[in-house]
Amino acid sequence: MRTSRLSRLARLAQARAGANPSNAAAGQIKIIDVSGGSVSSRMAGLTALTAGRISGILPFSAASSVRAISLSALQPSDRCEAERLIQSFLGAFPGVQAYVNKEMASKNQLYKNFIGMGYYGTHIPPVILRNVLENPGWYTQYTPYQAEIAQGRLESLLNFQTMICELTGMQISNASLLDEATAAAEAMTLCSAVARGKKPRFLISSKCHPQTIAVCQTRADGLGLQAVVVDEDKFEYAKDVCGVLVQYPATDGSVHDYRALVDKAHAAGVKVCVSTDLLALTKLAPPGEWGADIVIGSAQRFGVPMGYGGPHAAFMACHDEYKRLMPGRIIGVSIDADGAPALRMAMQTREQHIRRDKATSNICTAQALLANISALYGVYHGPKGLTEIADRVHGLAATLAAGATKLGLKVNSAPFFDTVSIKVADADKVLATALQHKVNLRKLDATTVTVAMDETTKVADVDLLLAILNGGKAPSFTAAGIAPGVKPALGGFERTSAFMTQPIFNSYQCEHDMLRYLKRLENRDLSLAHSMIPLGSCTMKLNATSEMIPITWPELAALHPYVPVDQAQGYAEMFRDLSSQLAVITGFDAVSLQPNSGASGEYAGLMAIRAYHQSRGEGHRNVCIIPVSAHGTNPASAVMAGMKIVTVSTDAQGNVNMAGLKQKAEANSKNLAALMITYPSTHGVYEEGVDEICRIIHAHGGQVYMDGANMNAQVGLTSPGHIGADVCHLNLHKTFCIPHGGGGPGMGPIGIKAHLAPFMPTHPIIATGALPDTPKDAKPFGTMAAAPFGSSLILPISFAYISMMGSQGLTDASKLAILKANYMAKRLSPYYKVLFTGKAGTCAHEFILDVRPFKDTAGVEAEDIAKRLMDYGFHAPTMSWPVPGTLMIEPTESEPKAELDRFIDAMISIRHEIAEVEGGKLPKESNPLVHAPHTAAVVLADKWSRPYSRERAAFPAPWVAAAKFWPTTSRVDNVYGDRHLVTRLGQQPAGGSGSEPVAAHA
Exposed, middle or buried, 185 (CB in 10 Å: 0-12/13-18/19+)? buried
pLDDT, one tens digit per residue, over 519-565 is 999 999 999 999 999 999 999 999 999 999 999 999 999 999 999 99
Q: What is the DSSP letter of 68?
A: H
Q: Do the domain assignments include residue 906?
A: no
CA-based nearest residue to 129, from 457, 373, 309? 373
Question: Within a 10 A sphere around the Cβ of 699, how many other Cβ atoms?
Answer: 13
Predicted pLDDT of residue 997: 34
Nearest-Å Rg of the Cα atoms of the chain is 28
Q: Do the domain assignments include residue 425?
A: no
Number of domains in the chain: 2
Task: Please state, in angstroms and rounded to a whole number, the distance separating the CA atoms of residues 812 and 799.
Answer: 18
Task: Please state, in angstroms and rounded to a whole number, the distance separating the CA atoms of residues 496 and 480.
Answer: 29
Predicted pLDDT of residue 988: 79
Predicted pLDDT of residue 371: 98
pLDDT, one tens digit per residue, over 793-832 is 999 999 999 998 988 899 999 999 999 999 999 999 999 9
Question: Within a 10 A sphere around the Cβ of 670, how many other Cβ atoms?
Answer: 11
Give the model's confidence band at 503: pLDDT under 50 very low, under 70 low, under 90 confident, else very high.
very high
pLDDT, one tens digit per residue, over 141-190 is 999 999 999 999 999 999 999 999 999 999 999 999 999 999 999 999 99
What lies within 8 Å, CB to CB, of 151 at 6+ separation is 342, 343, 524, 525, 968, 969, 1001
Task: Please state, in angstroms and rounded to a whole number, the distance separating the CA atoms of residues 141 and 547.
Answer: 17
Q: CATH number of the domain at 314, please.
A: 3.40.640.10
Q: Do the domain assignments include residue 509?
A: no
Contact 245, 216 (CB under 8 A): yes
pLDDT, one tens digit per residue, over 421-454 is 999 999 999 999 999 999 999 999 999 999 999 9
pLDDT, one tens digit per residue, over 311-368 is 999 999 999 999 999 999 999 999 999 999 999 999 876 555 555 556 566 677 789 9
Q: Do the domain assignments include residue 392?
A: no
Give the model's confidence band at 74: pLDDT under 50 very low, under 70 low, under 90 confident, else very high.
low
* Buried/exposed code over 979-995 (b: 16+ C-beta within 10 A; e: otherwise): ebbbbbbebebeeeeee
* Buried/exposed code over 127-142 (b: 16+ C-beta within 10 A; e: otherwise): bbbebbbebebbbbbb
| pLDDT for 271 beyond 70 | yes
Give the model's confidence band at 83: pLDDT under 50 very low, under 70 low, under 90 confident, else very high.
very low
Range of the domain at 157: 126-348
Give the model's confidence band at 52: pLDDT under 50 very low, under 70 low, under 90 confident, else very high.
very low
Predicted pLDDT of residue 489: 85
Give the model's confidence band at 991: pLDDT under 50 very low, under 70 low, under 90 confident, else very high.
low
Q: What is the mean pLDDT of residues 225-254?
A: 97
Q: Do the domain assignments include residue 963?
A: no
Task: Please state, in angstroms and rounded to a whole number, the distance separating the CA atoms of residues 591 and 582.
Answer: 7
- H helices present in 450-592, as ranges: 459-469, 479-482, 511-523, 545-548, 554-557, 569-586
Residue 30 β-bridge partners = 99
Q: What is the mean pLDDT of residues 961-969?
A: 96
- H helices present in 224-340, as ranges: 259-267
Average per-residue pLDDT in the chain?
A: 89
Q: What is the mean pLDDT of residues 861-876?
A: 98
Task: Please state, in angstroms and rounded to a whole number, the distance separating the CA atoms of residues 780 and 594.
Answer: 12
Share of the chain above pLDDT 70, in %: 87
Q: Do the domain assignments include residue 235?
A: yes
Predicted pLDDT of residue 653: 81
Contact 124, 373 (CB under 8 A): yes
Task: Please state, in angstroms and rounded to a whole number, the distance separating the CA atoms of residues 834 and 379.
Answer: 47
Q: Do the domain assignments include residue 944?
A: no
Which of 799, 823, 844 lies at the terminal end of a domain, its last residue?
A: 799
Share of the chain above pLDDT 90, in %: 82
Residue 277 β-bridge partners = 298
Which of 767, 799, 831 lies at the terminal end of a domain, its last residue?
A: 799
Which of 348, 376, 410 lies at the terminal end of a domain, its last residue?
A: 348
Please name the helix (run of DSSP H) or strand (run of DSSP E) that holds residue 708, with its range, or none: strand 703-708
Predicted pLDDT of residue 84: 54
Predicted pLDDT of residue 131: 98
Predicted pLDDT of residue 651: 86
Task: Please state, in angstroms and rounded to a whole number, the distance separating the CA atoms of residues 39 and 324.
Answer: 49
Q: Do the domain assignments include residue 301?
A: yes
